[in-house]
Amino acid sequence: MKSCPNKAIYKTDEGIVLIDESKCMGCQYCEWACPYGALTLDKDKGIMTKCTLCYDYLAEGREPACVAACPMRVLEVGDLDELERKYGKHDNIFPLPPVHHTNPSIIIKKHPSAGKSKGWKIINKEEV
């Protein structure tokens, strides 16, 4: 949000970060600045896109599509304080960026292998 020269990236009252398509010029600077790789270029439209957390579904009281579709039921969406009470704070997890840098609004229960940040490599790039 701070990097975007056009102020095309904004946060809703619910804390969802969205892109104003009418302002984005497709410079891709946000793609460099985002350590989650959340922003990608829509080549057809010439603008950046990202997950919207299915804000329209949420407004209707429905779950985001990914939460509803997950066969293992590992995804949950809700108020961050409530989720933190339930699952604890987000920790530094490889290969995600350091918590002190991003202060993320996400909680992931750490897999035992995810703590070994040094020397680990991702080989299945297409799946990440």
Partner 1 sequence: MLNTEWSLVFFTTISQLAVGIMIAVLPFVFAKKLNQYAKLNQTTLYCAAGLMLIALILSFLHLNNPVNAIYALSNLETSWLSREIFFVSLFLFSLVLVNLILYFKNPDVNYYRAFILITTIVGVIMVYSMSKLYVIPTVPPWNSVSTIIEFYSTALLIGSAFVLGLSFHYGMRVKNEIHPGNKNNIISLITLIAIAMIIINELFLGHTATEGNVAFEPQPLDTSIMVTRWLTLLLGAISLLYVIVKKGRLTNMRLAFYLPFAFFLISELIARAAFYASFYRIGL
Question: What minimum distance in Å lies between the beta carbon of 4 and partner 1?
Answer: 6
Pick one of 35, 62, 79, 80: the residue that binds partner 1 (CB under 8 A). 35
- If one asks whether residue 41 binds partner 1 (CB under 8 A), the answer comes out as yes
- If one asks whether residue 51 binds partner 1 (CB under 8 A), the answer comes out as no
Q: What share of the chain is helix, strand, coil (3-state, %, to 5)?
A: 25, 10, 65
Question: Using CA atoms, how far apart are residues 92 and 110, in angstroms rounded to an integer?
Answer: 9
Return the number of the residue (86 or 109) whose C-beta is nearest partner 1: 109
Return the number of the residue (31 or 63) whose C-beta is nearest partner 1: 31
> Which burial class, exposed, middle or buried, applies to 44 when counting CB atoms under 10 A from its CB (0-12, 13-18, 19+)?
exposed
Question: What minimum distance in Å lies between the beta carbon of 88 and partner 1?
Answer: 20
Question: Using CA atoms, how far apart are residues 6 and 113, in angstroms rounded to an integer?
Answer: 40
Pick one of 10, 11, 12, 25: the residue that binds partner 1 (CB under 8 A). 25
Q: What angle do CA 89, 125, 72 make, to 5 degrees?
A: 50
Write out the binding residues for partner 1, residues 79-118 only, by CB under 8 A: 92, 94-98, 101-102, 117
Tell me how crowded residue 126 is: count the other CB atoms within 10 A of its CB: 4
Interacting residues with partner 1 (CB under 8 A): 2-8, 22-29, 32-37, 41, 43, 45-47, 92, 94-98, 101-102, 117, 121-122, 125, 128
